[in-house]
Amino acid sequence: MTEKNGNDIGEVRRELGNVLRECHEKEEFNFALFQHNPSAITVVDRDGKVVKSNLARRHAHDPLPELGKSIFSGDSACDVIMKGELKKTLDQNMAREVSDVRSGGHIFSFTIAPFTHGAIVIRQDITEQKRAEAQLVQAQKLAALGTLVSGVAHEVSNPNNVMLLSLKTLQRMVDDLLPVLDERREKDGDFELGIGNYSEVRDDIPEMVACCYRAAERINRLVSDLKSYARKDDGVVLDQFDVNAVVQSAADLMGSTIRKATHRFKVECADDLPPIKGTVRRIEQVVINLLSNACQALPNQDCGITLSTAYNPASDEVHIMVQDEGDGIPSDYLSQITDPFFTTKHDTGGTGLGLSISRQIAENHGGALVFSSAGGSGTLVTLTLPVQNNNEDTTA
């Protein structure tokens, strides 16, 4: 070998070394990109059999694809759709994207990219993204609904107040009028009044007026609930208040309803609760709503309700708990109960606004409403309120 040849060989060796190093670096790079990619990536051969897959699986019921097995071999809707899409990709040799594929409670988007020996299937979990989009749409709808509702509420409120006022006066007039009419009957005998003889309709008269008054009161409550739902209060008062006092006052206000619903009602207030900052009337409204739901859930008066308070130093939160021994909330609609207008009480005039307003109030105070219920075995609702509430917008 000549010296020249010797030099050539040295150069070729160096060149080769560089190429190898470069290849190694590229391989390392590709490996990292593949293995640590947050998307689940699976490489399949032209028969759709798994050649390799990375580790990005995001939930427990999502095992890694088995090597050598067809990637979409199951009979779930997702597998059926994706098997077809993979076949089309390989036949047409063109990458494709498939979005909104649902499987195991998750929503996925797939990208399938063909290459000489098969295809790369990239799967992204877009469940959270979809949920956020749906929430945004829901929030926009609710904002529009809020504007509509406050307009309607205003229009209904004025004439209804006139009715309430008149009915109250009418009630007193009827009380005064009945003895006069009784006296006339005594003197002149029975006489016709509206739809029948006085004797037949006499006892119905006060009940009819009372019934109208109760109906008008119900409209008033509904209107005020709708108003609370639709707007944030202006003129907000931020007080430091004693949670136990609020709980006790809500229990007092609900006294007669509670007594009708159960013989077993307890209030258990924790000592030394730190004061909370917020709007007393609103927190009281939440407790009243929760107590009212608890009363309505009880099948008989032997089932109990416990209203209690506690302080959790770890999270620095005060808890107000309403525990009932009622019918419980079936898991099917547990996630919907705080949606505005969701109610299972159509027959008894439920509006489905109680919990929606309560949740709004809790969140405006920086807190939350947490429900725990197994259908049939009662319900525990916990209102959590942070002690250090720096939320200036406590508009509740």
Residues of the shown chain interacting with Mg ion in the complex, contacts defined by CB under 5 A:
293, 354
Residue among 390, 383, 361 nearest 317 (CA): 383
Residue nearest to ligand ATP (CB): 354
Residue 343 interacting entry, from Mg ion, ligand ATP, none, C-beta within 5 to 8 Å by type: ligand ATP
Q: Which two tokens stand for residue 346?
A: 């159509």
Tell me which amino acid residue 326 is: G
301 contacts 335 by C-beta, under 8 angstroms: no
Which of the choices ligand ATP, Mg ion, none does residue 305 contact, using the CB cut-off of 5 to 8 A by kind?
A: none
Please tell me the distance from the alpha carbon of residue 363 to that of residue 391, in angstroms, as a whole number.
Answer: 10
CB of 62 to ligand ATP, least distance (A): 33
Residue 297's binding partner, choosing from ligand ATP, Mg ion, none, with beta-carbon cut-off 5 to 8 A by kind? ligand ATP
- Could you tell which of Mg ion, ligand ATP, none binds residue 320, using a CB distance below 5 to 8 A set by kind? none
Which residue matches tokens 């006296």? Answer: 183
Q: Using the minimum distance from each CB to ligand ATP, give the nearer residue, 125 or 327.
A: 327
The option from ligand ATP, Mg ion, none interacting with 122 (CB < 5 to 8 A, set by class) reads none
All residues at 6 or more sequence positions from 274 whose CB lies less than 8 Å from its CB, including other chains: 311, 318, 387
Measuring CA to CA, which residue among 233, 376, 242 is closest to residue 311? 242
How far is residue 299's CA from residue 306's CA, in Å, rounded to a whole number?
Answer: 16
327 binds, among ligand ATP, Mg ion, none (CB under 5 to 8 A by kind): ligand ATP
Q: Is the dihedral of CA 387, 391, 395, 396 positive or negative?
A: negative
352 binds, among ligand ATP, Mg ion, none (CB under 5 to 8 A by kind): ligand ATP
Q: Which amino acid, residue 302?
A: D
Least separation in angstroms between residue 351's CB and Mg ion is 8
Question: Please, which residue, 93 or 331, has the CB nearer to ligand ATP?
Answer: 331
309/351 with CB nearer Mg ion: 351
Q: Which is nearer to ligand ATP, 40 or 226 (CB)?
A: 226
What's the closest the beta carbon of residue 318 comes to Mg ion, in angstroms? 23
Binding site for ligand ATP (CB under 6 A): 289, 293-294, 297, 324, 326-329, 337, 342-345, 350-356, 379
The two beta strands, 40-45 and 50-53, are: antiparallel
Nearest CB to Mg ion, comparing residues 293 and 309: 293
- Cβ(41)–Cβ(119) under 8 Å? no
84 vs 393: CA distance, rounded Å: 53
**How does DSSP assign 86-135, residue by residue?**
HHHHHHHT--EEEEEEEETTEEEEEEEEEETTEEEEEEEE-HHHHHHHHH
Minimum distance between the CB of residue 239 and Mg ion, rounded to whole angstroms?
25
Q: Where are the beta strands (DSSP E) in 126-234?
A: 192-193, 196-197
With tokens 């939320």, the residue in question is 391
Report how far apart, in Å, the C-alpha atoms of 89 and of each of 47, 76, 82, 119 are. Answer: 12, 20, 10, 8
* Cβ proximity to ligand ATP, 56 vs 329, nearer residue: 329
Rank residues 159 and 330 by Cβ distance to ligand ATP and give the closer one. Answer: 330
Q: Quick one: 189 or 349, whose CB is closer to Mg ion?
A: 349
Pick what 337 binds: ligand ATP, Mg ion, none; C-beta below 5 to 8 Å, kind-dependent: ligand ATP
Which of Mg ion, ligand ATP, none binds 329 (CB below 5-8 Å, type-dependent)? ligand ATP
- Residue nearest to Mg ion according to CB distances in the complex: 354
Note whether 311 and 274 are within 8 A (CB). Answer: yes
C-beta of 297: minimal distance to ligand ATP in Å? 3
CA atoms of 295 and 261, how far apart (whole Å): 5
Cβ distance to ligand ATP smaller for residue 344 or 389: 344
